[in-house]
Every structure is written in structure tokens, then in C-alpha cells.
Amino acid sequence: MVVESFTPQGQSKGLLDSVGLMVYTGAQSLDWVAQYTGHACSGGWCALCDNAKVSTPCASVPRKQILAGLDGGVNQSDLSKVCSGGTGGYMVWYASVDNGFQYGGDGDARTNTYVTWACNPAELVE
């Protein structure tokens, strides 16, 4: 889907608004950004190609259209790394809903009191 949605030069074909990197350990999703922006096509391998044995990207996603993955139990240091990573934001796996579905466990963003869930705390709305 990603290859069909963006050109090698990073132009959108209007099929996707953003691409989420489903890596949810610490700030490790940032390690994958270069694979999706087309800057990691080296050694004859490129992640976004049907035939991965090429030296140039088949598609390139602009950084601002990439959402980095975070787990709900993330610490403030890793959240800060993702916030300053130059992507379009982040997505969290997982968060329970007040008065609704409850996951429970250590990875639940709803019960994570160790982080401020905003890249810019001034953006928080009460």
C-alpha cells in the first residue's frame, strides 16, 4: 500500500494521509523512519520495494506523514525522543477508555502517570 501511495521523490498519490510505524518498544520506531523516507536504501536493499534488491527507493514517505509507534507504558525520555524525531506525531498501543473498554496491565496509556502525553504540553486541553 505504501509503495502505491508515494513516489520515490516523496510525492503523495492521494491514497494515504500518513503511515504508522507499528514498533512499540521505547523510541525504537524512530529506527525505522529512514526505511520509509527512502534514506536507508543501501547495500542493495530497500524496505519499500516489491523487489527489495535495489539501491534506490521505490517509494519515499515524507517525515511529517509518518507516525512513530509508542507503547502505553512509555517513559518520558522515550516520548521526548519521539517528539523531537521530526515525524508527524505518534500513535500509542494501547489505551483504555474511561467508563468503557479496559485493557489493564502495565502498558495501558490511560494509567501511565509517568508521562505528559503531548509533544508540546501547551497543547494539552483540560
Q: What is the pLDDT of residues 74-126, one digit of tens each?
A: 999 999 999 999 999 999 998 888 888 888 777 899 888 888 888 876 665 55
Report the 10 Å Cβ neighbour count for 29.
Answer: 26
Name the grid cell of 99: 467508563
State the pTM of this model: 0.83
If one compares 84 and 43, the residue with the highest pLDDT of the two is: 84
Q: What is the pLDDT of residue 44?
A: 55
Grid cell 509517568 in the structure block, residue: 114
Q: List the chain domain ranges.
A: 2-123
Q: What is the pLDDT of residues 8-24, one digit of tens each?
A: 889 999 999 999 999 99
Q: What is the pLDDT of residue 124?
A: 54
CA 106 vs. chain centroid, Å, equals: 21
